[in-house]
Chains A and B, each alone.
Chain A
């Protein structure tokens, strides 16, 4: 492999890194005169370039290639595209939302671009050192972003809580990594996978390592019992950052967990699928039950996203290589659908927050009369979150549940089904408020251009994935084949 090949393989990461630095420098040169608009434009152009580079690599049919300790395979390219799109939508919505709320918007956009870079590195890592560095890179940028409103008590609290939980989770994960290194003498995932056996003492050590590693991955993915930070951080952080944390950052947790478990611990597959299955039950049930009584919409969506994490992890818990529904494919489709759906829901929250300054459910009363378009988009996203066909969320749930049933995990399937019904209750409660509850306020809601563009993209993608799912499913099953072949 010559230098030019490596440049091409790493082009998404290089473009993202370059964009981040350019955004900071340009913002410095502009002396903060235009409220970050130039910075946001450059960031969006850079993300666009990185997305094109990622898709070119994905459609060039690259099989697994390793550059340094990064795997450039369809699995990592899928998650890179996901992260770049998510950050792009967040930036598009931030242009109007963040204006006037902070003096340091150039750094804000740069940090978001760097967060996309961190996810790109983490999801392609084939080496435990790189896994650790990628996750910590993402964590540190997220801590700063969560507390970006420095004067706001809630945002400060969100940042500190996220930081304290994250630092501990990171240290616990690292202890697990050190055990894997000690057991095999290697930090390369594939070598660890080849050397780690499932017999006797090594199995006990392996189970300990799985639980320790899950502290780090589960923290990112906000799985119960590593979720305690999520409601407070989601509520206190600036809403665009909440949207980012609940989609791209969560997807990164699942992506890294999937690769590490499948490639480094294939001999312990029975143990980690059982552990993940129980975490799935806990996350779904706790998330949904607590969400039922929330009246703050950001907090409600936080608990909903904990419950969604439970459904998503079912994909890994029902891992079934060679089956019609292999589980990992369901995980990827779910994350793709969930990305557009959840960002879309948070975009509506941002629009209402900008208009009325409130994120309470009461602010949504009678929305259909004041802002019919917003109310209809929100209904679409909530129905997709509930998994109602033919929207994107339905396909996510369908593929994950199908894998669970095919593996004959019927208890798990039953609990997931009951949970889906409970969740529909609080999603439809918001729809009820928007359509059937009268409100005193009659002023129509105006939505900024960037935000409506992001809203339209998310909404159309939710419909497209729902109605024409086939191309996405084909792409995803190809990604899955690659990682399953290399891992098992």
Chain B
């Protein structure tokens, strides 16, 4: 049995929403980053499902997904470095502790 495209899209939309909820609800910077990774992987499912359903002969969707993975890794590297520098001076990575600037 072939799994229809819509199932993949629903899975991706659910994953994206869970990731977005994580971003909004979590206070720990690393957990926020994990939410972002979920959102990016939801996009990857979308890209691959569309690629499989529409143009399996062209590799566009697959290559796009590989680019997304690569950029996500680079972004996580920079993000974790920033979080470590925060941790070194404040001993916390709670995002609501970042309140020096307001207004």
Interface members, chain B 1-58 (any A CB < 8 Å): 9, 16, 19-20, 23, 29, 32-33, 35-36, 39-40, 42-43, 46-47, 49-50, 54-55
Apart from A129-B63, A156-B86, A174-B40, 15 more pairs, CB < 8 Å: A143-B82, A151-B89, A153-B89, A153-B100, A154-B100, A159-B85, A163-B82, A167-B75, A168-B39, A171-B40, A179-B46, A181-B61, A182-B46, A182-B49, A232-B101
Q: How many residues of A contact B (CB 8 A)?
A: 45
Among A144, A147, A167, which residue has its beta carbon within 8 angstroms of that of B36?
A167
Q: Does A52 touch B at the CB level, under 8 Å? A: no
Which residue on A lies nearest to B38, using beta carbons? A171
From known contacts A132-B71, A153-B90, infer whether A299 and B29 are also in contact, taking CB-CB under 8 Å: no
From known contacts A154-B101, A159-B82, infer whether A186 and B60 are also in contact, taking CB-CB under 8 Å: yes
CB <8 Å contact, B29 and A140: no
CB <8 Å contact, B39 and A172: yes
Interface members, chain B 59-76 (any A CB < 8 Å): 60-61, 63-64, 67-68, 71, 74-75
CB <8 Å contact, B95 and A156: no
Which residue on B lies nearest to A133, using beta carbons? B67
CB <8 Å contact, A182 and B50: yes
Which residue on B lies nearest to A155, using beta carbons? B85
CB <8 Å contact, B54 and A136: no
Chain A interface SS verdict (over half): helix
Bound complex: CA A380 to CA B19 (Å): 47
Query: Once A and B bind, how many residue pairs between them come within 8 Å at the CB atom?
Result: 115
Residues of A within 8 A of B36 (CB): 167-168, 171
Q: State the B residues within 8 Å of A (CB).
A: 9, 16, 19-20, 23, 29, 32-33, 35-36, 39-40, 42-43, 46-47, 49-50, 54-55, 60-61, 63-64, 67-68, 71, 74-75, 78-79, 82-83, 85-86, 89-90, 95, 98, 100-101, 103
CB <8 Å contact, B55 and A185: yes
Among B55, B79, B101, which residue has its beta carbon within 8 angstroms of that of A167?
B79
